[in-house]
Structure 1
C-alpha cells in the first residue's frame, strides 16, 4: 500500500446517500507562515498503487513542500457495487468524485477562517515538472466581482473536457456538482454502458449537455465554471496523439526514447500533421505533465519513467521561477476576458 506522508493520518466516516466515505479529519502540513489557501487531492488505489505512481506523487510533494500545500491522497477504493454495477466495471473509478466530495464537505464543516478556499484535483498519472509554480496564480482574482461565482476551472482537448486535473472552490456549489457526478452511474446506467470515459463523461454531461440539471437556468450555469488553457496545469507529453500517416494511437504502445520523448520546445515529433504545435503540448517551464491515454502497466510506466527522471533532475530549463512573470500576465489577461464572458451571460438575460 501507499506508505508516504501523502496518506491521511486520521479519518472519520461521512454518510453520503447510501455510501460511507473516508473523510480526512487531519493532515500533516509543512510549517508555513500563513494558512494554506489551496490543497491538492489524488487517488492511488488498486492499479495505481505501484512504484511509478508513488514517484509521481512525490513530485507533487516537492511542490507542496515549497508552497505549503496540504495533500490528500486516497490509498483505498471507497465506492461500492451499487455504483459500479454496470458491465464496464472500472473498479475504483468512482472513488475519485467520492473522495473529492468527502474532502470538500469536511472543509465546509470547519469555521470559515480555517478552511481551504480551493482544491486542485490531479490524477495520479501526473508529474510536477516545475514545482516553483504556485497553484494560486491560476485562480480568479478576488477583486473582480464578475468572477465571485466562478467555482471550477477545467481544460479541454480534442476529446472535450479532460478531468485529469482541475480546480474546485470549496463551496456548496461544488458539493452539488460532485454529488451529481457520483450519482451519474446509478441514475444514467444506460449512458455509462456506451460512454468512452468514466467520470470524464459524467463531467461532460453535467456541465455541457441540455438534459443536465445544471443547465436548467437561463445562463445554463456557465458563470460557475470555465475552460482554462491545458498548459496551465494539464499539459500532455505529446503534440498529437494520432499518427496521421497510419492513424495509429501513438501513446497506446510502450514509448522508446526517440522523438516521442518530447523536449518541451517547438520541435515536435514528425506525426504527419505538419509540425503545428498544439495548445496542450508540454513546454519547458510548464507546471505539470499528464499521461492521459497512456494506458496502464508497462505501457504507462514506459512513458512516465523518463519524465520522472527528468523531473528528479530539476533541470533549470524545466524547473525554474523565471516563467512565472509571463504566466501571471497570461492569467491576468485570461481572467479579464472571462469576466467579460460572464458579464455578457448575465446581461443577456
Structure 2
C-alpha cells in the first residue's frame, strides 16, 4: 500500500526490494496506490478485492496464495522463495491463513492468505467488525485487532502471548472437572479454528529491527520496523543502503539457511499432533462407557483438549506442542497389553 500526496522515498525503495525478489521467482506483485477505504481498512478491502478477482477466474488460472507485506518491510535475502512456508496440501488441505504473533498478539505486517472463499468471508467479517461489535475498542491498529477478534470471535478468552499460555495452563490445573468441561465446550465452538489458521514462528518472515539491533541473522528473508516511531526512518535508510549497495551481503542460498529444516520440523510436528489427537479422541470414545475407566478417560479427554487448543491456537509454540504430544502418547495402552 503506497498512497498519499507526498511519496515516501523509503517506502518506494522498500517496495523495489520486493519487486526484484518477485521478478526472480516469477511472482506477480500488486501495490495499492489509491485509497479505497478509510485508513486501516484499505488493507483488508484491497485483499478481498484481489481474492475475489482471482476466484472469478477458472481454477487453472488462479493464484493459490497471496502474501501481504506492509510498506515498512524490506526484502534482504532474495534467495528464499516464499513458497517454502506454505503447507503441504496433502496434509493440510483446509489451511487458509498463515500468520504470526508478537508480544502483543497477532501481527498483520505480513501474512499469507489462501485464494479461497474462506478468506473472503474472514475479510468481510473483519471489515464489518466495528459495525456489529460496536462495544469493542479496536485501538490504533483497527484492521489487525478486528482480524484477531474474528479469529477468536466466539470464545471469551484465547491466549495471545507465551505468558498468557503459561497463566492459562496454571489456572486450568486448579479447575474442577465440571469447569474444564465447560471451557472445553466453549473452545470447541470457536469460529475459524478447525485447522484453517496456522501461526508460524514470527522470525521466519516477520523479523524485527529493534532500536538496538536486528533480531534475525544472516539468511533471514526480511526485516520489519514496527514500534520504532520516528527512529524507523533512520533504520530503514541504513538497511536499504546495505541491500542496494551490497546486495550479496545478506543473500544466502535457501539450503544454507535454517528454513528447510525448521519448516519441515514444523509441519511434521503439526501432522504428528493431529494424528495423536485423533487417536486420543478415538480411544476416549471407545472406553467412555466403562465405569472402571471413567477417571482415566476424563484425564485423557482433558489432555487431548489441551493439545487441541495448542494445535488450533498455539501452533507457533512447537516445544509446548511436542511435549504435550509425548505426554498424551503415554496415556495410550501399550500394544499387546
Same fold (TM over 0.5): yes
Answer yes or no: is 1:201 the counterpart of 2:145: yes
1:111 Cα deviation from its structure 2 partner: 0.3
Residue 71 (structure 2) pairs with residue 124 (structure 1): yes
CA contact (8 A) 2:99 2:110 kept: yes
1:121 is paired with a residue of what secondary structure? strand
Check 1:199–1:219 CA distance in 2 against 1; reply closer, same or farther (3 A cut). closer
1:93–1:198 contact (8 Å) kept in structure 2: yes
* TM-superposition CA deviations, 1:170-222 (whole Å, max 9, x none): 01110111111111222233323x5253211112211134359xx88646432
User: Looking at CA atoms only, which structure, 1 or 2, has the larger radius of gyration?
Assistant: 2
Residues 126-145 of structure 1: pairs in structure 2 closer than 5 A: 126-144=73-91
User: For the residues of structure 2 that align with 1:149 and 1:115, how far apart are their CA atoms?
Assistant: 17
- After TM superposition, the structure 1 = structure 2 runs for residues 14-25 of structure 1, keeping only pairs within 5 Å, are none
Select 2:9's aligned residue among 51, 63, 69: 51
Confirm whether residue 321 of structure 1 aligns to residue 235 of structure 2. Answer: no
1:291 equivalent in structure 2? 225
Aligned residues: 251
- Partners of 2:140 and 2:272 lie apart in 1 by 34
2:198 to 205, 213, 226: 226
Aligned to 2:107: 162
Aligned twin of 1:304: 236
How far 1:345 moved relative to its partner?
6.0
The 5 Å alignment of 1:332-343 reads 332-343=264-275
Change (3 A) 1:141 1:47: farther
TM (norm. structure 1) is 0.66
Counterpart-to-counterpart distance in 1, 2:13 and 2:247: 17
TM-score w.r.t. the length of structure 2 is 0.68
CA distance in 2 between counterparts of 1:216 and 1:109 reads: 35
SS of aligned partner of 1:320: coil
Question: Is the contact between residue 133 and residue 324 of structure 1 (CA under 8 Å) also seen in structure 2?
Answer: no
What is the CA–CA distance in structure 1 between the aligned matches of 2:151 and 2:275, rounded to whole Å?
A: 19
Q: 1:169 to 1:315 in 2, by over 3 A?
A: same
- Hey, what does 1:97 align to over in structure 2? 44
**Higher relative helix content:** 2
**Contact map agreement 1:285 1:317 (CA 8 A) in 2:** no
Q: Distance in 1 between matches of 2:35 and 2:276?
A: 43
Number of the residue aligned with 1:242: none
State the shift of 1:48 in Å.
Answer: 8.5
Is it true that 1:79 corresponds to 2:26 in the alignment?
A: no
TM-aligned CA distance change 1:334 to 1:315, over 3 Å: same
The alpha carbon displacement at 1:303 in A equals 2.0
The structural deviation recorded for 1:313 is: 3.0
Unaligned runs of 5+ in 2: 157-185, 283-337
Q: What is the root-mean-square deviation in Å for CA atoms of aligned residues?
A: 2.4
In structure 2, what is the Cα distance between the partners aligned to 1:64 and 1:284?
20
